[in-house]
Structure 1
């Protein structure tokens, strides 16, 4: 907060300096996800006051899914967006997922289970896109791991990372323009802390963003030279 002018100064992750919409982000004309939204959450989950720590507190007798969205969707104008979660506790079953989804998606399903929802799950390492049936993608993840997810609006793809390592493209032809970061859980004591850029990421997203911009520039030069 800028106390002198009594207005909020947006948190801008360093990789967004490459964004074509940087000036709009810097002037706060474009809103970015900065925390989890307690008002857009399943009752199975408890969110910290700062909106960055999430715990599964569901019924002891059952394991209902609980999901939560961030406070803002990701505006496609930014070109690229990325966030990470640190798994503090995998809980009893380690059923934790993250990704992106549209605002009308039910909060009783894991990321990726519903139409225009995309997710990567820690218990089986599978990816899910608009379906409850997953497919092989990456390794499982558990307590102590840092998992990230990025969406590339330049080519409409999505990828995930584990402990700073890029796991490859997970989804192509991502066609929604109103996608919110989403996290899902399904067993007791599961706990994660989310990072939207409040601190350094484990994955070198700055280098990745620079690579994406360079590839776009190279492709444009090739088109003009032919």
Structure 2
């Protein structure tokens, strides 16, 4: 007879089977967790590598941009130094314009001319009143300074112009019945588009007529002359006043040819031409 205590019951068998299943589940769970841990680590490693590559690429892109910024800062510094050279001091009787550069003094006016030129409106308006057609010229009261800083500039509006006129700088050795630019130490821009300097000439520049605003200036630092028309500078860089004009001073000057011609003058500071563009 078999003892009942030694015979496993169905309940015992089921219990053992369930214990085995639990052990298998525990093993499976541990394996799955370990696999998940490896997957997360791989993803983190890939993300770290990707971020490292991106940082390297960003550094490569930033390097040329930084070089461009350095170049722009150096260029800006050069421009500031150039401007400062022209604004270290104010010449006697001169005023600073909005661009912080020097223009011809506001109190300047036309006062030296023949009796066939009528000067009105405080010396700023001049009318050719001669009986015939010939060159008549006028000089401003104030000469340009002999120092080496600042800009002297003035503009003329031709209210009436039949044919010929000229604007420029000249010494008072030039005759009043002559044209500016035709004589020694005189420099002029004629209405037919010709630049005159000490009797020599250069053709092919812009012409001007009545109602045009024409300007003439000199950069005292290097004695370079420049001319403008309606707010734009003529394209030339090779016209310089001779050193002899430092002894015999230059004056703003203009010449009219025909009876009835008339001009209005602006000695500053509010010009059609922006002096800032000379340094661009």
Q: TM-score, normalised by structure 2?
A: 0.60
* 2:140 paired with 1:70: yes
Identify if the C-alpha distance between structure 1 residues 151 and 163 changes in structure 2 by more than 3 Å, giving closer, same or farther. same
In the alignment, which residue of structure 1 is the partner of 2:88? 20
Of structures 1 and 2, the one scoring higher in RCO (CA 8 A, sep 6+) is: 1
1:55 aligns with 2:127: yes
User: 2:113 maps to what in 1?
Assistant: 41
Q: Is the 8 A contact 2:144 2:152 kept in 1?
A: yes
User: Which residue of structure 2 lines up, in the alignment, with residue 107 of structure 1?
Assistant: 176
Residues 85-117 of structure 1 deviation map (CA, whole Å, 9 limit, x = unaligned):
1111113x2x11110011222111111011101
Equivalent residue in structure 1 for 2:275, among 184, 191, 205:
205
User: What's the CA shift for 1:44?
Assistant: 2.4
Give the 3-state SS of the residue equivalent to 2:237 in structure 1. Answer: strand
Q: In 2, Cα distance between the equivalents of 1:207 and 1:42?
A: 36
Q: 2:203: which partner in 1?
A: 136
- Secondary structure (helix, strand or coil) at the match of 1:201 reads coil
Gaps of at least 5 residues in structure 2 are: 1-82, 96-103
Q: Which has the higher strand share?
A: 1
Which residue matches 2:66?
none
Runs (5+) with no aligned partner, structure 1: 1-14, 213-226
1:62-83 alpha-carbon deviations (Å, 9 max, x no partner): 3121100000101032431111
Distance of aligned partners of 1:71 and 1:171 in 2 relative to their CA distance in 1, 3 Å threshold = same
Q: What is the RMSD of the two structures over their aligned residues, measured on CA atoms?
A: 2.6
Matched residue count: 185
Q: Higher Cα Rg: structure 1 or 2?
A: 2
